[in-house]
Structure 1
Amino acid sequence: MARILVIGGYGVFGGRLTERLAAETSAEILVAGRSLEKAAAHCRRKGGKPVRIDRDGDIFNEIALLEPTIVIDAAGPFQAYGKDRYRIAEAAIAAKAHYIDLADDSAFVAGIGTLDDSAKAAGVAVISGASSVPAISAAALDELTQGLSAVSLAGSAILPGNRVPRGLSVLRAIVGQAGRPLHVWRGGNWTDTTAWGDLRRFTLEARGVAPLEGRLASAIGAPDLILFPERYGVRSALFHAGLELKTLHLGLWLLALPVRFGLVRSLGPLAGRLGRMAGWLARFGSDRGGMVAYAVGRDSAGRAVDRRWTLIAEAGDGPQVPPTPALLLALKLMNGAGLTAGASPAVGLLTLSEIEIGLSPFRIRFDRSEKPAAPLLERVLPEGFATLPQSWCRLAEIHDIDRFEGMASVERGVGLSARLIGALFGFPSAAPAVFVSVTKEKTTSGEKWTRRFGTKSFVSHLSRKPDDGPGVLRERFGPFSFLLRLSAERGRVAWPVQSGRVLGVPLPRALMPRSETVEYEGADGRFCFDVKISMPLAGLIVRYRGWLEPASPPHGLSRTGSPAAAPSSIHLPAAQSDQPAPVAPEAASTISGRAGISGT
C-alpha cells in the first residue's frame, strides 16, 4: 500500500490536504508534525495516522523509518528554513520517496533545481511550490498566454476573506517580509521595491456570484517573481496579496515603515502577536476570497489585450485552494501519470482544467475574460498608430513601466522670464551633451513620464477622459495642464497645444506655450527627437535634441532566455507552448513633424 507522509498535516492547509488524501486515495496517510497531540486530534476527526516529526531533528532517519512513498511538506514558513532549507527534500530522496511541498518562497522554489541530479539518480520526482503560486498561477498563465505573439505583463493576486483561518506560517511569511527590499522584474530589468508596498486595488468578477470589489493588495514575495520573467518572456512580472479589512492592510503597511527606513530589521518576531490582534477583528469582513491571474500582450491580429482568469471562493472554501495542486500531483505520482524523475518548480505540471476539476467539490467559481488593452498613445491615435515607425511605437508600448536611454544636447533661453519659466517647469540646464533617460509608468489614469537629463529631472502626467475624441491627450506638469490634439499622417506625429490651464484657470494666449517638436527614426533605427518650447513674451524657453533607445532588450526575455543577473538558478519544465518573437507594427522609415509640450 502506498504511504503518504504529510509534514504539517494538521495545519490550515495541511489539514485540508490530509483530509482529502484520506477520502480520495487508498493510501495510508501519515499526519505529521511537532505535536503528536494535535496530529492525533486531527486524525480522530478526519482520518489518517498521527506521527511526531521535528524537521530540525534527525529528519533523515525519521523519514527512512516511516518508508513513505510520497513526502509532502505543508509546514513552512519556507522563508525560515535557513541554510539547510532542502533537508526534508534530501531526506525524501535518500529514502527514495517522491517529494512535494507547498512552498511560497521565491528563492526556495526557484532553487529546487539544485536537487535535480540526485532526484534523477534516485528515480523520484521533487516538486516545489505545489500551491496557489506558482502552480495555479502558472497553469492559468499557460492558458491565458496561448495565441499571444508578445506578452508584456504577467501577474497574479491573492485576496483572502477576513473570516477564513490563517495559519501562523502564512502570517510569518507575510509579516516577515513587510517593509523589506523585494527583488522584482519590471520594465525588462531587475529592480528593488518594498514588500507590502505598491498599493493597488483589485475588483474580481465571476459570473453567477457577487464580485469582490475594491480589495486592497500590496506587492509581496512569491516564486512567480523569479520564474515568470523567463517562462513567459515578459517585461514585467507582478504579484500582490491583500487583507480584506483596510484597517489590517493599511495597519501592516504603517507598521512596516520602520523596517523600510532601516530602524527595525523585521516584523517577523511580531507575527504571533499581530495574528492575535487580527483575531479580534475576525467577526468583521467576509468568508469570501479570490485569486486572479492576468496577462497583457498582442493577439494574432496585433491587438493589445488583457486576459484574466478569476477565482472566487465562498462559504469559507478559500483555504481549499492552496493544497489542491499538491493533492493532484500526489494522485498523478500514485497513478504513474506522466511525471518524470527530477527536481523542478511546480509549473507546467498541471493544466488549468485539472485544477478547476480538483476544486469542483467546493463553492468556488471561475471566470475568464478578455478586454482591449491598447496603451495610452495607441488609444489617442487608434487609426494612425500602426503606420508609425517601429521606434516610435516601441516607446509607446507601455503596459507597466519601461525605461529608455540616450544622449541629448540642451539649450536654454537667456532672458530672465525664460529662465524663471524654465526653472518653474524643472527643465534641464544647458549642456552640449548629456545622458538622458525617460521612464514611462502606467497609472490608473494614464501614464507618468519622468525625463532625466544628467542629474536634473522633470515629471509630467498624461491622460485621457472617457469622452475625449480621437487625438485628444491631456498633460499635467504640477499645477499646469495642457490639452493636446495629436494627429498622424504619412508617418508623422503632431502634438499641437490646444489650450492650457493653471490651477484650473485658463491661460491667456499670451502665456500659452508653443511647442515645435520633430520626432523621427534615424538611419540606425533609433528614436530621435528635437523639442523646442517657447512663449510669445519670453521667447525660447528650452530646446533639447537627441536620441533614445530601450534600456533593456527589445521585448523582455525569450521562453528559452534568462534574465540578466537573475537572483537564483532556475530549473524549469518546458512551457506548454512556445511564443514567437514580438511583432512590431509595420513602420515607415522616418518620422518628422510638430509635437506638443509632451514631446519626449
Structure 2
Amino acid sequence: MKVAVLGGYGVFGSRLCRLLVRDKHDVIVAGRNAESAGALAQELDASSLTLDRAGNLAPLWAMAPDAIVDAAGPFHAYGDDPYRLAREAIANGVHYLDLADDADFCAGIKVLDEAAKAAGVFALSGMSSVPALSSAAVAALREGADSIDLIETAILPGNRAPRGQAVVDSILFQAGTDIDVTVDGAVTQVQSWSHAQVFDLPGGIKRRGYAIRVPDQSLFPAHFGARTVTFHAGLEVGLMNHGLAAFAWLRHKIGFGIPDWFARTVRRAAVLVGWLGTDTGGMSVRVVQRNGAQWHARTWRLLARKGEGPFIPAVSARTVLRKPYDVPTGARAGLEAFTLTEAENAMSDLAVETDMAAEVLVPLFPSVLGTEFMTLAPAVQASHQVFAPKRLTGTARITRSRGIWPNLIAIIFGFPAAAQDIPVRVLKTPHAKGETWVRQFGRQSFMSHLRRGPRGITESFGPFTFDLGLYAKDGNLHYPITGGRLGPLPLPTAFLPESVAVERAVDGAFTFDVSIRAPLTRQLIVRYEGTLFHTDR
C-alpha cells in the first residue's frame, strides 16, 4: 500500500514510518517541516511531502495514497473543524487512521460513519496504545467473563524515551483539570494527575502512575460493559512525577491556562534531564471479572527495552495496515480493530516482551475473617465483597458532642457535623495492601485506609493507626478498637478512643451504627448511623 504519514518525522510518526517501510509499504513522510520530512524520507528510501494539515491538501491527494495516518496532534487543539483531514480522505476514497489520545476527538469521529461506508473506506481514530491496543488486550483478557467490574490500564515510559511536543501539550493541557471517570457504574470527576498508584511491570520493575484522561474512560464502559474504567500514566523519575502532581494541584486550586511558551519550556526542561532514569518503559492492562462464582484478576503486561517504547503507539496502525482488506468500512474509534495476538506479532521485531497472568481474588474482610465471614447476614457480606471499587449510597443521622475536647478530635479527623437524614456515600477501593474507604456525609468527607494486620485489620487516619478486633456475632459484624499507634509509637490504653461499631442487616438492608468516644474523658466524639445500598446493574 501507499501510506502517507502526517507528522511522519515526529516521535511516533517517524517510528511508524520505519515500521511501515519494514513491511514493504510505499511510505510518504508528510508534514510542515520540509527539511525533517526530506531527511527521514531519504534515510528510509521513501517519499516526502511538505504539507500543513490546515492548508491546501490537494498535493496529498495528487500523490494518490491508499491510506493516510495522522500522527501529528495534539488532537485536542484541532479547532472548529477537527475532522477535516478525515473527511477529505473519505471523499478521495482513502483509508484514514490517527494516533489520537484525546477522548472527545476519538469518540466524535463516528459522525463520518455513513460517509466512510458509502465511500467503501475505514476511518479509525485512536489507533495508538490507547484505545486500540488497550482494547485488544481487554478483549483477550475478558474471554469467558460473565461480567467486568474493572478495567485498569497504565502506560509508564522510561525517562530516556524522547518526548514530542504534542505529548507534552496533551499532558499539560489536562493536568489539574477535572476528568470524568466511571466508578462502579456512575460517572464521577477526579483531578487529572492525581490518585497515584504503583504498577508492576515485567522484570520486577515498579512504576508510579497518575490518573489522566484518555479515550478508554469514555468508550470502555459501554463497549465492554465495565463498571469501573481507570487509566494512569507516569514518569520514571520521581521528582518529575511529584513536580507535575504539585503543578496539577496548584492549577486545580486556582485555575490558569497553559501558554505555548510554557509548554515549550517544560519540554526543553524534560530534554535536559533526559539522561536520568532508563530507556525501559511499559504498559499494563488489568481486568477484574466474574467467572461463575469466583472473581479473577487477569493482567497483560508489556515491557519495551533499548529505547523502543515509542514504537508501541505505532504498532496499532502497523497491525491494521497489514490486513486492510479485513477491516470493516465506516468511521469509528479503533476498538478491537485487531486481536492481541496480531498486535504481539507486529511487535516481534522490537525489543519488547509481554506476559499474561491470572489470580483468584479474595477481598480483605473475607480473607481476615475466614469461615466466620459466611455467618454474617447476606447484606453485610455483600458490602465487603470488594473486588473492584464499590459505591454505596444511602442516608445517615449524625450526632456530635458539644465538648471542646471531643469536637477538637472530630475536626482533626474530619468527622461530619450533626445532621438528620443526611445523604451519605461510601466508596471502597481495593488495592494491593488492602482497601481505601472514602465516606461522604453531605459535603463533608473523610478517608481511611484498611489493611490486614497481625491480629485482624488496621485502619489508618493520617498518622493514626488503630487495630480492629473484628468478630461476627448473630450475623452482625463488630469493630472494637484493640490498640493504636501514632506513627510508629504505641498509644497507651487511656489514649485510645473507644469505639462501638456494628454492621447489621435490618429487613434485608445493610445498616451501620458507629459510636466513637474520646480518649481520657470518654465523651462522645461522633455517632453516625444509617442505611446503605449498592446499586447493581
Output the TM-score relative to the length of structure 2: 0.90
Please name the residue that 1:100 is paired with: 97
Higher relative CO (Cα under 8 Å, sequence separation at least 6) belongs to 1
Q: 1:375 aligns with which of 359, 363, 376?
A: 363
Please name the residue that 2:221 is paired with: 229
Q: Offset at 1:44? A: 1.3
Equivalences for 1:410-425 in 2 at 5 Å?
A: 410-411=398-399
Determine the C-alpha separation between the residues in 1 that align with 2:389 and 2:174: 24
Please name the residue that 1:252 is paired with: 244
Instruction: Establish whether residue 473 from structure 1 lines up as the match of residue 466 from structure 2.
Output: no
Equivalences for 1:59-78 in 2 at 5 Å?
A: 59=57, 61-78=58-75
Q: Is the 8 A contact 2:478 2:501 kept in 1?
A: no
Q: Offset at 1:423? A: 6.8
Please name the residue that 2:289 is paired with: 297
Q: Alignment partner of 2:55: what SS?
A: coil
Please name the residue that 1:200 is paired with: 197
Q: Alignment partner of 2:226: what SS?
A: coil
Q: Alignment partner of 1:275: what SS?
A: helix
Aligned letter for 2:471?
S
Q: Which deviations, in whole Å up to 9, do the C-alpha atoms of 1:511-553 show, x marking residues without a partner?
A: 6625163511x43x43123445568974766554321113xx4
Aligned letter for 2:468?
L
Q: Is the 8 A contact 2:509 2:532 kept in 1?
A: yes
Please name the residue that 2:147 is paired with: 150
Q: Offset at 1:443? A: 5.5
Determine the C-alpha separation between the residues in 2 that align with 1:424 and 1:221: 33
Q: 1:80 aligns with which of 77, 86, 102?
A: 77
Instruction: Establish whether residue 119 from structure 1 lines up as the match of residue 116 from structure 2.
Output: yes
Evaluate the alpha carbon distance shift between residue 62 and residue 381 of structure 1 in structure 2; reply closer, same or farther with a 3 A threshold: farther
Aligned letter for 1:463?
R
Equivalences for 1:312-391 in 2 at 5 Å?
A: 312-333=303-324, 336-337=325-326, 339-385=327-373, 388-391=376-379
Please name the residue that 2:511 is paired with: 528
Determine the C-alpha separation between the residues in 2 that align with 1:358 and 1:101: 18
Q: Which deviations, in whole Å up to 9, do the C-alpha atoms of 1:215-258 show, x marking residues without a partner?
A: 23222221111111222333321111122222333333334444
Determine the C-alpha separation between the residues in 2 that align with 1:418 and 1:273: 50
Q: 1:173 aligns with which of 170, 183, 186?
A: 170
Bigger mean CA deviation after superposition, 121-130 or 431-440:
431-440
Please name the residue that 1:243 is paired with: 235
Determine the C-alpha separation between the residues in 2 that align with 1:253 and 1:150: 34
Which structure shows the higher helix fraction? 2
Please name the residue that 1:91 is paired with: 88
Q: Is the 8 A contact 1:459 1:477 kept in 2?
A: yes
Equivalences for 1:589-600 in 2 at 5 Å?
A: none
Determine the C-alpha separation between the residues in 2 that align with 1:279 and 1:413: 57
Q: Offset at 1:437? A: 2.9
Evaluate the alpha carbon distance shift between residue 287 and residue 177 of structure 1 in structure 2; reply closer, same or farther with a 3 A threshold: same
Evaluate the alpha carbon distance shift between residue 230 and residue 77 of structure 1 in structure 2; reply closer, same or farther with a 3 A threshold: same
Instruction: Establish whether residue 487 from structure 1 lines up as the match of residue 471 from structure 2.
Output: yes
Determine the C-alpha separation between the residues in 2 that align with 1:15 and 1:419: 62
Q: Is the 8 A contact 1:176 1:268 kept in 2?
A: no
Gaps of 5+ in 2: none
Q: Offset at 1:268? A: 4.8
Q: Is the 8 A contact 1:79 1:108 kept in 2?
A: yes
Q: Is the 8 A contact 1:43 1:50 kept in 2?
A: yes
Please name the residue that 2:502 is paired with: 517
Q: Is the 8 A contact 1:63 1:91 kept in 2?
A: no
Q: Is the 8 A contact 1:296 1:307 kept in 2?
A: yes
Q: Alignment partner of 1:434: what SS?
A: strand
Please name the residue that 2:436 is paired with: 448
Q: 2:46 aligns with which of 48, 53, 77?
A: 48
Q: Alignment partner of 1:381: what SS?
A: helix
Q: Is the 8 A contact 1:175 1:268 kept in 2?
A: no
Number of residue pairs matched by the alignment: 535
Evaluate the alpha carbon distance shift between residue 424 and residue 65 of structure 1 in structure 2; reply closer, same or farther with a 3 A threshold: closer
Bigger mean CA deviation after superposition, 185-194 or 435-444:
435-444
Q: Alignment partner of 1:322: what SS?
A: helix
Aligned letter for 2:28?
L
Percent identity between matched residues is: 38
Q: 1:408 aligns with which of 382, 393, 396?
A: 396
Q: Offset at 1:408? A: 2.8
Q: Offset at 1:418? A: 7.1
Q: Alignment partner of 1:171: what SS?
A: helix
Please name the residue that 1:573 is paired with: none
Q: Offset at 1:354? A: 0.7
Q: Alignment partner of 1:464: what SS?
A: strand
Q: Alignment partner of 1:283: what SS?
A: coil
Q: 1:28 aligns with which of 16, 26, 29?
A: 26
Q: Is the 8 A contact 1:185 1:191 kept in 2?
A: yes
Evaluate the alpha carbon distance shift between residue 407 and residue 397 of structure 1 in structure 2; reply closer, same or farther with a 3 A threshold: same
Which structure shows the higher strand fraction? 2
Evaluate the alpha carbon distance shift between residue 36 and residue 527 of structure 1 in structure 2; reply closer, same or farther with a 3 A threshold: same
